[in-house]
Amino acid sequence: MAEQRDRQRIDKWLWAARFYKTRALAVEAIERGRVQVAGQTVKPAREIKPGDAVSLRQGEVAREVVVRGLSAQRGPAPVAQQLYAETAESIAAREQAALARRLSPEPAHAIAQGRPTKRDRRALDGQRRGDWDDRWSAVLNDE
Protein backbone atom coordinates (compact mmCIF):
# COMPACT_ATOMS: atom_id res chain seq x y z
CA MET A 1 0.00 0.00 0.00
CA ALA A 2 1.28 3.49 -0.88
CA GLU A 3 2.22 5.72 2.04
CA GLN A 4 0.36 9.00 2.57
CA ARG A 5 2.61 11.97 1.83
CA ASP A 6 2.38 15.29 3.62
CA ARG A 7 3.40 17.33 0.55
CA GLN A 8 2.35 17.36 -3.10
CA ARG A 9 3.18 19.32 -6.25
CA ILE A 10 0.77 22.19 -6.84
CA ASP A 11 0.04 21.17 -10.44
CA LYS A 12 -0.95 17.65 -9.36
CA TRP A 13 -3.08 18.99 -6.53
CA LEU A 14 -4.94 21.44 -8.78
CA TRP A 15 -5.68 18.59 -11.18
CA ALA A 16 -6.75 16.19 -8.40
CA ALA A 17 -8.96 18.88 -6.81
CA ARG A 18 -10.64 19.34 -10.22
CA PHE A 19 -9.80 23.00 -10.73
CA TYR A 20 -8.31 22.13 -14.13
CA LYS A 21 -9.22 19.29 -16.45
CA THR A 22 -5.63 18.23 -17.16
CA ARG A 23 -2.28 18.70 -15.49
CA ALA A 24 -1.07 20.47 -18.62
CA LEU A 25 -3.81 23.11 -18.19
CA ALA A 26 -2.86 23.47 -14.52
CA VAL A 27 0.80 23.97 -15.47
CA GLU A 28 -0.19 26.55 -18.10
CA ALA A 29 -2.26 28.51 -15.56
CA ILE A 30 0.61 28.40 -13.06
CA GLU A 31 3.12 29.62 -15.64
CA ARG A 32 0.82 32.49 -16.62
CA GLY A 33 0.75 33.64 -13.00
CA ARG A 34 -2.89 32.76 -12.36
CA VAL A 35 -2.06 30.59 -9.34
CA GLN A 36 -0.47 31.90 -6.16
CA VAL A 37 0.39 30.26 -2.86
CA ALA A 38 0.41 32.57 0.17
CA GLY A 39 0.30 35.58 -2.16
CA GLN A 40 3.37 34.59 -4.19
CA THR A 41 3.50 33.29 -7.76
CA VAL A 42 4.82 29.77 -7.92
CA LYS A 43 6.24 27.21 -10.30
CA PRO A 44 4.47 23.91 -11.15
CA ALA A 45 6.89 21.88 -9.00
CA ARG A 46 6.15 23.94 -5.85
CA GLU A 47 5.06 21.61 -3.08
CA ILE A 48 2.04 22.43 -0.97
CA LYS A 49 0.79 20.99 2.29
CA PRO A 50 -2.51 21.10 4.18
CA GLY A 51 -3.14 24.58 5.54
CA ASP A 52 -1.60 26.46 2.59
CA ALA A 53 -3.67 29.29 1.09
CA VAL A 54 -4.01 29.05 -2.70
CA SER A 55 -5.37 31.84 -4.93
CA LEU A 56 -6.34 30.88 -8.45
CA ARG A 57 -8.18 32.28 -11.41
CA GLN A 58 -10.29 30.19 -13.78
CA GLY A 59 -11.35 32.43 -16.63
CA GLU A 60 -13.09 35.36 -14.93
CA VAL A 61 -13.65 33.46 -11.67
CA ALA A 62 -11.15 34.16 -8.90
CA ARG A 63 -11.01 31.79 -5.94
CA GLU A 64 -9.25 31.70 -2.59
CA VAL A 65 -8.99 28.22 -1.08
CA VAL A 66 -7.23 26.59 1.82
CA VAL A 67 -5.70 23.16 1.22
CA ARG A 68 -7.35 20.58 3.50
CA GLY A 69 -6.01 17.38 2.02
CA LEU A 70 -3.82 15.82 -0.66
CA SER A 71 -4.64 13.16 -3.21
CA ALA A 72 -2.39 11.22 -5.56
CA GLN A 73 -5.24 10.54 -7.97
CA ARG A 74 -8.16 12.42 -9.44
CA GLY A 75 -11.45 11.25 -7.99
CA PRO A 76 -15.11 12.18 -8.33
CA ALA A 77 -16.17 15.77 -7.67
CA PRO A 78 -17.56 15.18 -4.13
CA VAL A 79 -14.23 13.64 -3.09
CA ALA A 80 -12.25 16.41 -4.80
CA GLN A 81 -14.24 19.08 -2.94
CA GLN A 82 -13.01 17.63 0.34
CA LEU A 83 -9.43 18.50 -0.62
CA TYR A 84 -10.02 22.24 -0.10
CA ALA A 85 -12.14 24.78 1.73
CA GLU A 86 -13.06 28.00 -0.05
CA THR A 87 -12.82 31.14 2.07
CA ALA A 88 -15.96 33.12 2.95
CA GLU A 89 -14.61 36.22 1.16
CA SER A 90 -14.03 34.19 -2.00
CA ILE A 91 -17.55 32.76 -1.94
CA ALA A 92 -19.06 36.23 -1.41
CA ALA A 93 -16.98 37.70 -4.26
CA ARG A 94 -17.99 34.90 -6.64
CA GLU A 95 -21.68 35.36 -5.77
CA GLN A 96 -21.38 39.13 -6.26
CA ALA A 97 -19.73 38.64 -9.67
CA ALA A 98 -22.44 36.16 -10.69
CA LEU A 99 -25.15 38.63 -9.65
CA ALA A 100 -23.47 41.42 -11.63
CA ARG A 101 -23.28 39.18 -14.73
CA ARG A 102 -26.93 38.21 -14.32
CA LEU A 103 -28.10 41.83 -13.98
CA SER A 104 -25.94 43.24 -16.78
CA PRO A 105 -27.68 43.86 -20.11
CA GLU A 106 -27.46 41.24 -22.81
CA PRO A 107 -25.24 42.58 -25.62
CA ALA A 108 -27.36 40.92 -28.30
CA HIS A 109 -30.42 42.98 -27.28
CA ALA A 110 -28.69 46.12 -28.54
CA ILE A 111 -29.06 44.87 -32.10
CA ALA A 112 -32.57 45.88 -33.14
CA GLN A 113 -33.07 44.00 -36.39
CA GLY A 114 -30.00 41.81 -36.41
CA ARG A 115 -27.65 41.54 -39.31
CA PRO A 116 -28.58 43.74 -42.30
CA THR A 117 -29.85 42.06 -45.46
CA LYS A 118 -28.13 42.57 -48.79
CA ARG A 119 -30.69 45.22 -49.68
CA ASP A 120 -30.19 47.05 -46.35
CA ARG A 121 -26.44 46.87 -46.81
CA ARG A 122 -26.63 48.47 -50.25
CA ALA A 123 -28.80 51.24 -48.81
CA LEU A 124 -26.27 51.84 -46.05
CA ASP A 125 -23.44 51.94 -48.57
CA GLY A 126 -25.40 54.41 -50.70
CA GLN A 127 -25.88 56.70 -47.72
CA ARG A 128 -22.22 56.55 -46.84
CA ARG A 129 -21.13 57.31 -50.39
CA GLY A 130 -23.48 60.29 -50.42
CA ASP A 131 -21.86 61.59 -47.26
CA TRP A 132 -18.43 61.13 -48.78
CA ASP A 133 -19.37 62.91 -51.99
CA ASP A 134 -20.85 65.81 -50.03
CA ARG A 135 -17.70 66.30 -48.03
CA TRP A 136 -15.11 65.67 -50.73
CA SER A 137 -15.75 66.55 -54.28
CA ALA A 138 -13.41 66.93 -57.16
CA VAL A 139 -14.81 69.21 -59.83
CA LEU A 140 -13.13 69.76 -63.19
CA ASN A 141 -13.49 73.22 -64.55
CA ASP A 142 -14.13 73.07 -68.26
CA GLU A 143 -13.47 76.70 -69.00
Q: What is the pTM of this model?
A: 0.66
Q: What is the pLDDT of residue 30?
A: 92
Most confident segment among 43-52, 109-118, 133-142? 43-52
Q: Write the secondary structure of 83-141 as one string of H (helix), E (strand) and C (coil).
A: HEEECHHHHHHHHHHHHHHHHCCCHHHHCCCCCCCHHHHHHHHHHHHHHHHHHCCCCCC
What is the arithmetic mean of pLDDT over 120-129? 78
Q: In whole angstroms, what is the distance from residue 12 CA to residue 47 CA?
A: 10
Q: In whole angstroms, what is the distance from residue 74 CA to residue 21 CA?
A: 10
DSSP 3-state of 28: helix
Using CB atoms within 10 A of its CB, is residue 122 exposed (0-12), middle (13-18) or buried (19+)?
exposed
- What top-level class would CATH report for the domain 8-103? alpha beta
What is the arithmetic mean of pLDDT over 119-124? 85
Statement: residue 111 has pLDDT above 90 = no
Q: What is the pLDDT of residue 110?
A: 66
Q: What is the pLDDT of residue 72?
A: 84
Q: What is the pLDDT of residue 3?
A: 44
Statement: residue 125 has pLDDT above 70 = yes
Output the average pLDDT for the chain. 83
Q: How many of the other CB atoms lie within 10 Å of CB of 91?
A: 12
Q: What is the pLDDT of residue 2?
A: 44
